[in-house]
Amino acid sequence: MSDFDDCLIRVADALAETARQETLRCFRSEALGVDNKSGHGFDPVTAADRAAEAAMREILSSERPDDGVLGEEFGPVPGRSGLTWVLDPIDGTRGYLSGTPTWGVLIAACNETGPIYGVIDQPYIGERFRGGLGRAEMTGPRGTRALHCRAPRPLDEAVLYTTFPEIGTRAEAQAFQALSSHVRLTRYGMDCYAYALLALGQIDLVVEAGLHAYDICAPIAVVTAAGGIVTDWQGNPAHHGGQVIAAANTEIHARALAFLNATG
C-alpha cells in the first residue's frame, strides 16, 4: 500500500471516529435540536448533523488542507489537490431522530472519475464498512469480515431495498413497482445501511431516486469494492446522485435495469 493510500485510510477512520462521537452524543436524547430545512414538507437536520460535519471539516482542514470538501450541511470548499472528500454526517436523519439504530455516517474520497475510497460507519451498532484502495471489509463487535456481494440468482429470488415507499416521481415509483413485483422480497428503510447489507452479501438490489452526491459516493466505493455495481437507471456513473441502482452483480443489474426502463 502506498503512503498516499495509507494516509487516505487513516484520515477516513479519523473522520468516522469523530463523527461517531458527535452523533452518539445526541442520539436518543432530548438534545437533538431538530430543524426543518425545507419550505415544504419535512427535511430534518439536527444539531448532531451540523456538529459532526463541522468536526470532520476541522480534521480535513488540518490533515488534508489542499483537498476539496463537499458536505450536506455546509457549503462546498474547492480544493487544489484533485481530491474531494464527500461527507454525509448522518445519512438517515429521519431514522436518527426516531431512535432507530441503522442511520450512518458516509465518507468518501473522490477524484475526477468518482469515489476511490469510502466508509459507511454505523455508530450505534459499531460496524464500519470500508471499500476501495485494496480494501473490502467490515469491522465490528465480532471482529473483521471480508465483504463479498451475492452471486447471481434469478430475479424472482432477489431481495430488493429502497428507503421510501413513495420513491421519487410518479413515473419513478411506477418503474420501481414494476421491478418490485418481480422480486422475492421488497423491504423499505435502512438508508445507507441497505448498501452495507448489499456489500455484505445479504441482499441483491438497492434502487433509489433523488439522491445527492453525498448520499451515494461512499456506498459506491464500498459496494464496488465488494464486487457489486452501482449506476444510474440508464447504466451510467451515479456518483453525482439522482436515480441510483446498486446491484450484487452485473447479471441481476441488467435484469433490474430492464424493468426500470420499461416504464420509467
Annotated binding-site residues for Mg(2+) read 72, 88, 90-91, 215
Q: Which residues are annotated as a binding site?
A: 72, 88, 90-91, 215
Rounded CA-CA distance 88/207 in Å is 19
> Which residue matches cell numbers 468518501?
108
Residues 193, 120 contacting (CB under 8 angstroms): yes
